[in-house]
Amino acid sequence: MRSVIDILDLSVEEIDQLIAVADDIIANPAKYREACKYKTLATLFFEPSTRTRLSFEAAMLSLGGNVLGFSDAASSSAKKGESVADTVSVVSGYADIIAMRHPKEGAPLVASMKSLIPIINAGDGGHFHPSQTLTDLLTIRHEKGRFEGLTVGLCGDLKFGRTVHSLIEAMSRYTGVKFVLISPDELKLPDFVRKTFIEDKGLACQQVTSLEAVMPQLDILYMTRVQGERFFNEEDYLRLRDTYILTPEKLKLAKDDMIIMHPLPRVNEIDTRVDDDPRACYFRQAHYGKFIRMALILKLLEVEV
């Protein structure tokens, strides 16, 4: 029984296989329509979500399986003081696989130690978000055709942005990748990510505050929302939230084949006029999420199609 708590729980070869399965699902959806018949996915979401929860549910439904769960901690027994470990021990008896999102870093890991069924970390606090990274990798493979040798700009809240941390972990395994970290001083990438996945691996990295200054060199611009819910005070959030707003004017500096990604939800950091730019791929990115999650569910349930 295997869980995916961190993107590094999957090898590079396994990620390639997941991408190959996702591509086959995109090409031949009918083949997979009953692959998970009589299997159940539980979505335990202790924190708000639109795409991650709905794409996991859509994934399981498209595999012919069932879904149950809750989308609000306040409607679960967490509200009465039940521990995550107890909740998971119980849900293990009602479902075959769990996707869990929790505001506390490490909660899905603790849950996986108690669980009898696979757990997928669907986001733990400001820590990691591996299934978003699989979505991002499928997007990059489709839009850029490769991972090697890409210059990846990550812009916005690099401190609390869990999708950024997992994406850096994943991309640090491919040769010739260069990271450009674009954030205000207060929202810099945490040391544990920078040191372990960039410095110790000897990867090229540039840390800047100006997006415009680095725009011309980027192959990928990964925009993120300032994570207001993780701030200690409202004043800092209000001061920092609009530091970067991507506009068509700023994009004139970018390569013609640069891609613009965003895990969504977008708040203000990408002007809606950018949506019509062919380089904007964040809505396509959200759609890829369902297919790679289908592939991940099949793998963890050990279903062969």
* Residues annotated as part of the active site: 51-52, 80, 101, 129
The residue (of 52 and 62) whose beta carbon lies closer to ligand NCD is: 52
Cis peptide before 278 (omega within 30 of 0): no
Of residues 51-90, which lie at the interface with ligand NCD (CB under 6 A)?
51-52
Nearest-approach distance from CB 253 to ligand NCD, in angstroms? 25
Q: Are 222 and 164 in contact (CB under 8 A)?
A: yes
The residue (of 39 and 51) whose beta carbon lies closer to ligand NCD is: 51
Nearest-approach distance from CB 123 to ligand NCD, in angstroms? 5
Is 39 a binding residue for ligand NCD by CB under 6 A? The answer is no
Binding residue (CB under 6 A) for ligand NCD from 162, 194, 241, 290: 162
**Which of the ranges 171-179, 234-242, 259-267, 292-300 carries the binding residues for ligand NCD, by CB under 6 A?**
259-267
Binding residue (CB under 6 A) for ligand NCD from 71, 92, 132, 151: 132
**Which of the ranges 176-184, 248-256, 260-268, 274-282 carries the binding residues for ligand NCD, by CB under 6 A?**
260-268
Q: Are 246 and 270 in contact (CB under 8 A)?
A: yes
Nearest-approach distance from CB 225 to ligand NCD, in angstroms? 4
Is 290 a binding residue for ligand NCD by CB under 6 A? The answer is no
Of residues 184-223, which lie at the interface with ligand NCD (CB under 6 A)?
none
Task: Compute the distance between CA of residue 145 and CA of residue 148 in angstroms, rounded to an integer.
Answer: 9
Task: Compute the distance between CA of residue 261 and CA of residue 213 in angstroms, rounded to an integer.
Answer: 19
Of residues 217-236, which lie at the interface with ligand NCD (CB under 6 A)?
225
Is 170 a binding residue for ligand NCD by CB under 6 A? The answer is no
| First vs last C-alpha separation in the chain | 19
Rg (CA), the chain: 19
Is 165 a binding residue for ligand NCD by CB under 6 A? The answer is no
Binding residue (CB under 6 A) for ligand NCD from 71, 115, 139, 163: 163
Is 263 a binding residue for ligand NCD by CB under 6 A? The answer is yes
Q: Are 200 and 37 in contact (CB under 8 A)?
A: no
Query: Which of 304, 305, 295 has the alpha carbon at shortest distance from 120?
Result: 295
For ligand NCD (CB under 6 A), the number of binding residues is 11
The residue (of 54 and 203) whose beta carbon lies closer to ligand NCD is: 54
Task: Compute the distance between CA of residue 28 and CA of residue 24 in angstroms, rounded to an integer.
Answer: 6
- Which residues, other chains included, contact 35 with Cβ-Cβ below 8 Å and sequence gap of 6+? 63, 64, 298, 303, 305
303 vs 35, 99, 153, 300, CA distance in Å?
7, 17, 37, 8
**Which of the ranges 107-115, 171-179, 204-212, 258-266 carries the binding residues for ligand NCD, by CB under 6 A?**
258-266
The residue (of 39 and 225) whose beta carbon lies closer to ligand NCD is: 225
Q: Are 140 and 177 in contact (CB under 8 A)?
A: no
Is 129 a binding residue for ligand NCD by CB under 6 A? The answer is yes
2 exposed, middle or buried (CB, 10 Å; 0-12, 13-18, 19+)? exposed
C-alpha 8, offset from chain centre: 13
Is 123 a binding residue for ligand NCD by CB under 6 A? The answer is yes
Binding region for ligand NCD (CB under 6 A)? 51-52, 123, 129, 132, 162-163, 225, 263-265
